[in-house]
Chain A
Amino acid sequence: MRILRSVRHKVCADGSFMKEFLLDAPVTTGFFSYLRHFGSVEALPGLGEGFYKFEKPEWFSIKGFAGDTTVEVRFRKEVMDLTVDFVYLLFASYREETPDLSVLKLRERAISERVRKHLHGT
């Protein structure tokens, strides 16, 4: 699955920066299950084809409906430059079969250090 382009953006009331991304294929329940490896996922499976929200504290959140070809990503603005590539990587690396998470985990660790340093100075 790939992000094709950003179709909408706004600065939210809480200061976060929202981008709506158009995907090359509908997002699946399996994709949100895969995201659990990197943060928490809330699910309301009874609504439409299922509403899902992934939270990676201090990085970003991703929400959307299964079967939809757009998702809304809300970035913590201060570290958006550090984390935006990881969003693209999450989508591009997803496979229906058991994905290999090793590269993503390495990348996540490296970005985490930079995010922590930027936000907390440690």
Chain B
Amino acid sequence: MRRIEAVNDFVIKFANVNGTGSASANHMFAKSIFRMGIPVSPRNIFPSNIQGLPTWYEVRVSQKGYLGRRGGVDILLCVNPQSMADDIQSVEPGGYFIYDSSKPLDQRLRRNDVEFIGIPFTQMCLREYDDARQRLLFKNMIYVGALAALLNIDFAVLKDLVGDQFRGKEKLITPNVHAMELGYQYATENFDCPLSIRVEHASEIGEHISYTKHILMDGNTAAGLGAIYGGATVAGWYPITPSTSVIEAFERYARRLRIDPGTGQNNFAIVQAEDELAAMGICIGAAWNGARSFTATSGPGLSLMSEFLGLAYFAEVPVVLVNVQRAGPSTGMPTRTQQPDILAAAYASHGDTKHVLLFPSTPKECFDMTAQSFDLADRLQTPIILMSDLDLGMNDHMSPPLEWDDEREFDRGKVLSAEDLDNMDERFGRYLDTDEDGIPYRTYPGTHPEKGAFFTRGSSRDVYATYTEDGEAYVHNMERLLQKFETAKEYVPAPKIKLAGKKTSVGALFFGTTASPCYEAIEMLADEGSAIDTIRIRAFPFNAEVEQFIADHDTVFVIEQNRDGQLRRLLINECELPPNKLISILHYDGLPITARSIAMSMRDSLTTNKVTPIRRKTAKKVKS
């Protein structure tokens, strides 16, 4: 058998039972590699369940800094017999299968192109610990210790991490380190360590790119922190996976950073509402009254918020929504990732509505764009929807450090003060397009005793906010809203274009978490001689650069994680372009898209000139 030889470049997957504390041990494993200066991207693949079902944790280790999913598994560590048969099948030829040998392995499952490493984790725990809970938790630490020996992880780094993890609960440090040592010792005594797949300190193998300044952070925490920096004071919300941790992070940071030094009281208000409708209502009420407000939700919540989003669009109330997408439709797969809400968000609510969308691709962008959303919402007086997803939101991603420019100031948009109103000669008209950019001036309630009051409504009104059913006034207002959407193109983040370096008629267009594996796939194809230019979309409405990029190429792959090619449809809807130029590459099985599958799809298309949507077909046909 030819073993895979790899240093700092492999995929390891853990097969666990959920509710057994494995995720934190697995995270410690990933972070130890990160602290050795090696880029990692861990992904928790978990069920919508509290305890007892299979759960996986996949860690990509890539010295080159590829952070998307690669595809394939080189090492599988299995402590869950429920999923063992499939897990064994998933290992790449030449890879390793590490399993709990407390019970003998079913010999029918054995493969002769994979190295099997049996470690009696359960027996070791039974011998070492009396308490059932300790047996459960320390089993995780034992296998982390064993992996340290097998993969050449610096044990001192792991010990430091245990210290960090249990800061404040110091008496837990020694037993956890001891459990790791048990595993480490067993592996050293029984196997040739390290394996052919292993890690080395980045500095020791002469790596030039340093990741020591980088951070490991999930997108939801970054978005919650972005809301702190963006000046959000009011959050209304309703718990829903995978968005819950956005608000939890906001609250955690607010309790640290938003306590008024004079009174010890809160410079923020968070209300867990009765449902997503109320969550959005709270945000709209607060924003109408001059506070920066936001909420976070996922697919079903977006559906429920749609009516209110229409109100905010039409009544021109700034509000920020972080939509952490998951697999739909309906309840779909609540703990699996997708990018399936593009159309539902872009056109949320009945009537002619359009919303500004932002597409973050990294935790740093989650932070930056959430903070920026509040400026955009105030400037444009309309909802801003941040389109994150479960993969970005709930998994740790390696990211450059967060930055903040202290010179930067909030842009509160066109708001008239009492003084402004006093200095005005003309009558205040809430919906007058004074600057001809489609954005009118607003006032906060309570500003002036005599001037500037108006009636906000979801019904049609004239420029002075008075109810009207006059067709001309209605059309005038709707056209102005369209004009405002044009203006938005100047303010939203521009796309990121990377040219292949030589002339090519092929382009690739993508957004969000699809970007990282796309860049990797493009490099794979470049090595094979196919040059492809790329554009990463960062916002809707699409600005001129997007249309120009498509015009400049004969073929543009549109790569996204949903069934219907929703971004492609949005492009066709909103831009003047021939649809047959845009070739969809789609992936939507609930796991993040992989670089290998993207490369394969593009390769197929470029060699056969297929123009139908390319979907990754994993489903087996069911015979009745």
Question: Do A and B form a real pair?
Answer: no
Binding site for B on A (CB under 8 A): none
Binding site for A on B (CB under 8 A): none
